[in-house]
Amino acid sequence: MIEANTRAQFDLTGEQRQIAALAAEIAQREIAPHIAAWDRERVFPRELYAKLNDAGLMGIIVPEQYGGVGADYVSYALAIEELARVDAGTAVTLSVHSMICSAIVKLGDEAQKEQWLPKLATHNAIAGFALTEPDAGSDAASIRSTAKRKGDCYVLNGRKQWCTNGGCATVTMGMFRTGVPGPKGVSAFLIDAATPGIVVEKVTEKLGIHTSNTVDLAFDDVKVPYEALLGREGDGFGNAMTALTGGRIGIAAQATGILAACLDASVMFAKERRAFGKPIGAFEGVSFKIAQMATDLDAARLLTYRAAALAGAGKPFAAEASKAKLFASTAARKHAAEAVQIYGGYGYTTEFPVERYYRDAKITEIYEGTSEIQQLIIARSLLGRLD
């Protein structure tokens, strides 16, 4: 790795560097030897998360009073980046898990925090997210799944699509319609995965991130207690957007990690592979690609760390998170393609990891808000709503 050349200039604290080093060490020891097989066989390595749990990474942003590490958001971004440098699927699993932990910290009442945070931080439990539906993706306010109040319970019905961690979660944050059409009729719930009536209808076959668990969930007369409501009834759309805004830092970090892996692999290959009597890195057609890759990696890190620092300081960060995700995901997808090009025919084979980076990078431009949604958020932060 060429971390010394690309991250040393950032003013990170000793604790932040220690967490990054811990995540990198775990990734190299526990993931790197297995990732090619896991990716090929589409394995969700459930046992890996017990090791991440033991290292404190599952509770990295959970406050210490609930059993977590209580680290800052920059430390969290660094950990996600280092995991993604080896496996983007593991990184997004932890990112979404942490996104739900953060939502519970910010939006949950004390009983919900005491019920779920210790489990998610220390008891080898995983949190999932259920928002998207067949007819509601970027237009999340159009969800049709319903939650009807019956006495001291809600009864949930509907279908959720592409639920990250949905098939392995202990608790899932789900969005359901409790009222009128539009965003004001949506409410958020913390749903115990053991509740009767929840069915995994399909495991999603994906282009990349094969180690991430992605499923379609069916909710058929799922009865949850009133206490499962996260925040107030009708605040669910805003709660989902709050969760996604924080989650975009994780996806920006994931994309940054993929980009870092592309740079690592490209530099190594450019030094070792020879053509016309010299290393291919001696040719500008290759060296200029690597130069741009390194430049964009620094830019992605700066944007991501800035958004994370603002979030940790309790300052507004929505536009900054969108800028980080937009830039880092675009750069990851672009430079993963360039890494394949540098490897030539080798890059198109599964013998080398750059083809996996290429497949994994694309999703970072789509989930937790497409690039177009990020552009809309950024534009509105400057122009306001003109429609």
Write out pLDDT tens, residues 34-47. Answer: 999 999 999 999 99
C-alpha 353/C-alpha 87 separation (Å) is 10
C-alpha 272/C-alpha 281 separation (Å) is 9
Q: For 306-346, write each residue's pLDDT tens digit.
A: 999 999 999 999 999 999 999 999 999 999 999 999 999 99
pLDDT the model gives residue 5: 47
* Alpha-carbon torsion angle 164, 85, 256, 215, nearest 10: -10
Q: Answer whether residue 1 shows pLDDT above 70.
A: no
Q: For 72-88, write each residue's pLDDT tens digit.
A: 999 999 999 999 999 99
C-alpha 343/C-alpha 351 separation (Å) is 11
C-alpha 68/C-alpha 116 separation (Å) is 12
- For every residue of 17-68, DSSP letters joined together read HHHHHHHHHHIIIIITTTHHHHHHHT---HHHHHHHHHTTGGGTTS-GGGTS
Q: For 352-367, write each residue's pLDDT tens digit.
A: 999 999 999 999 999 9
Contact 375, 326 (CB under 8 A): yes
Ramachandran angles phi, psi of 165, nearest 5°? 70, 10
Q: Coil, helix or strand for 373?
A: helix
Residue that has been written with the tokens 């109040």 in this structure: 149
Contact 89, 52 (CB under 8 A): no
pLDDT the model gives residue 2: 53
Q: What is the mean pLDDT of the chain?
A: 95
H-state helical runs in 152-274: 236-272
Ramachandran angles phi, psi of 56, nearest 5°? 90, 0
Report the percent of the chain where pLDDT is more than 70: 98
Residue that has been written with the tokens 């497409």 in this structure: 370
pLDDT the model gives residue 326: 98
Q: Answer whether residue 9 shows pLDDT above 80.
A: no
* Alpha-carbon torsion angle 23, 24, 25, 31, nearest 10: 90
368 in active site: yes
pLDDT greater at residue 147 or residue 183:
147
pLDDT the model gives residue 230: 96
Catalytic residue among 81, 320, 365, 368, which? 368
Q: For 164-199, write each residue's pLDDT tens digit.
A: 999 999 999 999 999 888 888 999 999 999 999 999
Q: pTM for this one?
A: 0.96
Report the percent of the chain where pLDDT is more than 90: 90
Distances 19 to 128, 317, 322 between C-alpha atoms, Å: 24, 23, 24
Q: Give the residue-averaged pLDDT of 245-266.
A: 97
Domains of the chain in start order, with CATH, are: 3-126 (1.10.540.10), 128-237 (2.40.110.10), 238-383 (1.20.140.10)
